[in-house]
Amino acid sequence: MYGTQTIGKDGHLYIGGIDTVRLAEEFGTPLYVYDTALMKQKIRSFKEAFSKHTALSWQIAYASKAFSTLAMIQLAGDFGLSLDVVSGGELYTALKAGFPAERIHFHGNNKSKDELAMALDAKIGAVIVDNFSELNVLDQMCAERGQNMEILLRITPGVEAHTHEFIMTGHDDTKFGFNLDNGMAERAVLLALRSEHLALKGLHCHIGSQIFETEGFVRAIRAIFSHMNVWTRKMNFHMKVLNVGGGFGIKYTGSDHPLPIGRFIDAIVDTIEDECARHSLSVPEVWIEPGRSIVGEAGTTLYTLGSSKDIPGIRKYIAVDGGMADNIRPALYQANYEAICANRANEPADQSVTIAGKCCETGDVLIKDALVPESFKSGDLLAVLCTGAYGYSMASHYNRLPNPAVVFVEDGEASIVVRRETYEDLIRHDVPLKTFSSRE
């Protein structure tokens, strides 16, 4: 159980003081429910961890790829966060939400000219330049417009984070960033410093996601400083900002043991301060980009149980009214989740079942061994926990399933922040063949 989740006397699961059975009745299922008090608490713990380091300047940029909607971006803005966006769509959402442009940082390994133009028009805070072609294109665009832009360079420090290989990003063989050890990063620093319109503010690295140890951050920072030392003296490059990315691990199941956020922040800041002292450099402003660790545990997906299939001696499948279309993570990363029977949460959960989705795909299994009450049956409500990160944001329309609604709950109030898609929404952009003259 997470955040404000409780079990009521009626045996129902409550979130933010609201009965999830009522939420399902009112908004339908599948339904993404976000405990906003828990998101705020997560933001506060990042801020508190930094405030201990009184001499330091810092920014916490929410990585909106984890969950981007107008309401979420507003919440991040209200709490003084900066914002990491990674596409024109995320940037558009941020601007429409009224997020202060100067606190937006634009990422991505293949930003189009149109996306860069959007960023320049909006005068965002920084572009995190990922590769040589982007450096060149952005420089030319700024020159044509007579505009300046602050940039960071994304560095690939050659560090392998201990996580699923699909979500590692700091190792040498990755599509992201300028590699440190083969001279790419040094050349990028040189080119950026020569540009008249790009102001090289600092460096960025992101070693991966769902990380449980501080060691990867420490190694990445040390690797960057071993070069910074040379670049400062050789090229007179003074790093004003070091952005160490996101990736802080969360507790999806009882086998995950995430570190308190303060442990990560202390390790990051202490290492930076130590390296600066060692090389007689001034301490840069420290930026981080948490996504999952702000929204992950705050999200719960409610499903209604439908059909079941018991294969004696093998397993019992129980199917819900969603699946890989609203949560691709089990199929994509073999991610594990836990669930509660939300309308009978007080009954002993001693039956092991496999929770399947409704997509036409054998791999559409949400949880392999979920524990549910013996009497679990069609019509019951299942709450899959910790689905707040990369669930809604990676949702698809596979099998023409409309995307679920999203509600924020807090202090007994529920606010719909994304309406459920309708079948009409699904065909909204389709152009029927009869509009083509070639049809016989």
Ligand X SMILES: Cc1ncc(COP(=O)(O)O)c(C=O)c1O
Ligand Y SMILES: N[C@@H](CCCC[NH3+])C(=O)O
Residue among 167 and 339 whose Cβ is closer to ligand Y: 167
Q: In the window 316-335, what residues touch ligand Y (CB under 6 A)?
A: 329, 333
Catalytic entry in 205, 276, 360, 386: 360
209 vs 304, beta carbon nearer ligand Y: 209
Q: DSSP letters of 85-112?
A: E-SHHHHHHHHHTT--GGGEEE--SS--
Q: Is 163 an interacting residue with respect to ligand Y (CB under 6 A)?
A: no
List binders of ligand Y among 201-260 (CB under 6 A): 209-210
SS3 240: coil
Binding mask 354-393 for ligand X (x = CB under 6 A): -----------------------------------x----
Taking CB under 6 A as the rule, does residue 65 contact ligand Y?
yes
**Which of 19, 289, 364, 380 touches ligand X by CB under 6 A?**
289
Q: What are the angstrom distances between the C-alpha of 192 and each of 23, 86, 129, 183, 436?
A: 52, 21, 10, 14, 49
Assess 59 for contact with ligand X (CB under 6 A): no
Q: Which residue, 352, 329, 174, is CA-closest to 250?
A: 329
How far, in Å, CA of 217 to CA of 191, rounded? 27
8 marked ligand binding residue: no
Task: Please state the closest distance from residue 324 (CB atom) to ligand Y, in A.
Answer: 13
**CA 186: distance to chain centroid?**
29
Closest CB to ligand Y among 162 and 197?
A: 162
With CB under 6 A as the contact rule, the residue among 61, 128, 167, 409 that binds ligand Y is 167
Of 125, 158, 216, 245, the one binding ligand X (CB under 6 A) is 245
> 3-class SS at 122?
helix
Q: Is 359 a catalytic residue?
A: no
Segment near ligand X (CB under 6 A); pick from 14-22, 213-221, 268-276, 285-293: 285-293
How far from chain centre, in Å, is Cα 335?
Answer: 15
Give, to the nearest 10 degrees, the angle between helix 113-122 and helix 132-145: 50
Residues 76-105 that bind ligand X (CB under 6 A): 84
Residue type, 162: H
Q: Is 333 annotated as a binding residue?
A: yes
- Positive or negative, the CA dihedral 389, 393, 399, 403 is positive
DSSP state of 435: G
| Residue of 111, 227, 292, 329 that binds ligand X (CB under 6 A) | 292
Q: Residue with CB nearest ligand Y? A: 390
Residue 170 annotated as part of some ligand binding site = no
Which of 107, 111, 201, 227 binds ligand X (CB under 6 A)? It is 107
Q: Compute how many residues bind ligand X; rule: CB under 6 A.
A: 17
Asked if 154 is part of the footprint of ligand Y (rule: CB under 6 A), the reply reads: no
Helices 261-279 and 36-51 cross at an angle (nearest 10°) of 30
Residue 293: contacted member of ligand X, ligand Y, none (CB under 5 to 8 Å, by partner type):
ligand X
One-letter amino acid at 151 equals I
**Sequence letter at residue 119:** A
Burial class (CB in 10 A: 0-12, 13-18, 19+), 270: middle
Query: Least distance (Å) from ligand X to the CB of residue 379?
Result: 35
Among positions 15, 49, 66, 168, the unique one binding ligand X when judged by CB under 6 A: 66
Report how many residues bind ligand Y under the rule CB under 6 A.
7
292 marked as binding residue: yes
Q: Which helix (H) or strand (E) holds 224?
A: helix 215-235
Cα–Cα distance between 53 and 254 in angstroms, integer?
32
Given candidates 3, 16, 202, 247, which one binds ligand X under the rule CB under 6 A? 247
Question: Does 290 count as an annotated binding residue?
Answer: yes
Cα distances (Å, whole numbers) of residue 322 to 292, 309, 360, 382, 401: 22, 17, 11, 11, 8
For the window 169-208, what string marks contact with ligand X as x by the rule CB under 6 A? x------------------------------------x--
Helix, strand and coil in the chain, % to nearest 5: 35, 25, 40
Are the CB atoms for 319 and 305 separated by under 8 Å?
Answer: yes
Binding site for ligand X (CB under 6 A): 63, 66, 84, 107, 169, 206, 209, 245-248, 289-293, 389
Output the known binding site for pyridoxal 5'-phosphate: 247, 289-292, 390
Binding site for ligand Y (CB under 6 A): 65, 167, 209-210, 329, 333, 390
Catalytic positions, written as ranges: 360
